[in-house]
Chain A
């Protein structure tokens, strides 16, 4: 009978994960090329597109490094290949780490580390299947209703104005839920968030000065990094 170690170190699993990641990368490249082509047709200049790509790449580094921390933590309990796969597709850092730690007790293990040491192949199979199906609920909405959801808030339709109000409503609800939670739940979170906001405002002011327009491409990435570093200061002061 195969053990968890046979599966997580399996060349077959590695080959399937590599195949999947190649597909995801190809899908992203096709999306990028199609969007770029349409952007040029719409009159968006090649330089503007290049700025968007560069800024997106730079902006993605820090959140991706946070996901790497999740990978390091998850690899200890689920193996590198499976963790690499799960964090590269659909899943989120929080979901994957939570579901892995929640599943261990239901199978009679105190921790995910114990699961890694003692689980049979079948037990690890339960984890693999549940992690794979766990986040599918969103697709049950996105695939059949995504087009309807997007067109219902499309501002280019014009109309009587309700679509404009509805469109802003989703973003404002997101802010109305997250911002009070971040500001009230935890003092450090509040300080980090306010730091990010202030740095973004200051950078925005600088970016309006002559010759400083390039700064616009780095406002979000820069303020996010400063805010994260400020967490070290706040946690040491208070």
Chain B
């Protein structure tokens, strides 16, 4: 199908229109809450005390993280991105949920069927999270002692590696491409694996910063490594080292 006559699936078209409008409304509402409350209590801070060198320094850390999340997660989550971004907790909940839904349905990311299935998973997960957090907020004084138990805190600290362990197979299977198969795709990210491994090893041997601090910089790393992976993959694909072949040929 040529680019000229390529049309979006009806659900994808709906998501791009109403997902965007719904997101804009949610953003406007979200930003207006502090202003409404602070004006009501007549304690609106000056803009100078909100946006200054010290606070901008903190915000500057999160700007690349936000950009990195949008650039790296949007192509993976497809039409479910609008809902995923507005309900948050993408890496630790929404993306794994989308991968889980794709795996169960046997559909692939970046296809109309995959977008529909991932959206069902992300929407169900979003509703579940709101329900759980609402119950938790209502019972916070009752449940606090349970969630402050050392064993519960220890398990919670290892959510991310547990998630990656459980979804790595699903992530790999979602990199196949329908009737086509990408052969040698891993070669395109070899420089990324080497660079990140060297950084992690150097940090561990030289003890420059705690491992958790390095994990906190993952947004910067993804942002820096995406162009490396895309350029390397492009070169490898042009040279025939990465091939896209029919499934029967693979």
Contact = CB atoms under 8 A, between A and B. Distances in A.
Contacts of B188: 165, 169, 172
A92 B91 contact: yes
A71 B140 contact: yes
B212 A186 contact: yes
A7 B10 CA distance: 44
Given A122-B49, A155-B178, A169-B189, A149 B75 contact: yes
Nearest to B152: A69
A61 B221 CA distance: 29
B204 to A, nearest CB: 6
B185 A165 contact: yes
Give the dominant DSSP class at B's interface.
helix
B169 A28 contact: no
Interface string B141-164: 001100110011111111111111
A192 B229 contact: no
Interface string B109-144: 111110111011111111111101110110010011
B127 A28 contact: yes
A36 to B, nearest CB: 6
Interface centre among A61, A139, A164 (most CB of B within 10 A): A164
Contact of B244 (A149, A165, A184, A198): A165
By CB atoms of chain B within 10 A, which of A1, A53, A57, A72 has the most? A72
Interface string A13-27: 100110111011101
Interface in B155-205: 155-172, 174-178, 180, 182, 185-186, 188-189, 192-193, 196-197, 200-201, 203-204
Nearest to A10: B37
A72 B127 contact: no
A21 B44 CA distance: 24
A113 interface: no
Contact of A228 (B44, B70, B81, B162): B162
A57 B163 CA distance: 16
B74 A28 contact: no
B130 A21 contact: yes
B203 A185 contact: yes
Interface string A120-152: 111101101110111111111111011101111
Interface string A164-208: 111111111111111111101110111011111111110010000
How many chain A residues sit at the interface, stated as a range, is: 35 or more
Residues of A contacting B: mostly = helix
A59 interface: yes
Contacts of A106: 54-55, 58
A44 B97 CA distance: 18
Contacts of B203: 185
Contact of A139 (B23, B43, B90): B23
A27 B133 contact: no
B100 A55 contact: yes
Nearest to B238: A162
B72 to A, nearest CB: 6
Given A92-B88, A162-B234, A182-B161, A204 B43 contact: no
A223 interface: yes
B103 to A, nearest CB: 7
A60 B97 contact: yes
Given A34-B11, A60-B97, A81-B137, A142 B1 contact: no
Nearest to A95: B62
Interface in A59-118: 59-69, 71-72, 75, 80-81, 83-85, 87-95, 98-99, 102-103, 106
B130 to A, nearest CB: 5
B238 to A, nearest CB: 9
A212 interface: no
B172 to A, nearest CB: 8
Interface in A206-238: 216-217, 219-221, 223-225, 227-229, 231-232, 235
Contact of B33 (A13, A44, A55): A13
A20 B30 contact: yes
Contacts of B250: none
Contacts of B169: 197, 200-201, 204
B161 A196 contact: yes
Contacts of B133: 64, 67-68, 71, 84, 87-88
Q: When A and B form their complex, which 3 residue pairs have the shortest distance between CB atoms, in order from nearest? A: A196-B165, A137-B66, A185-B211
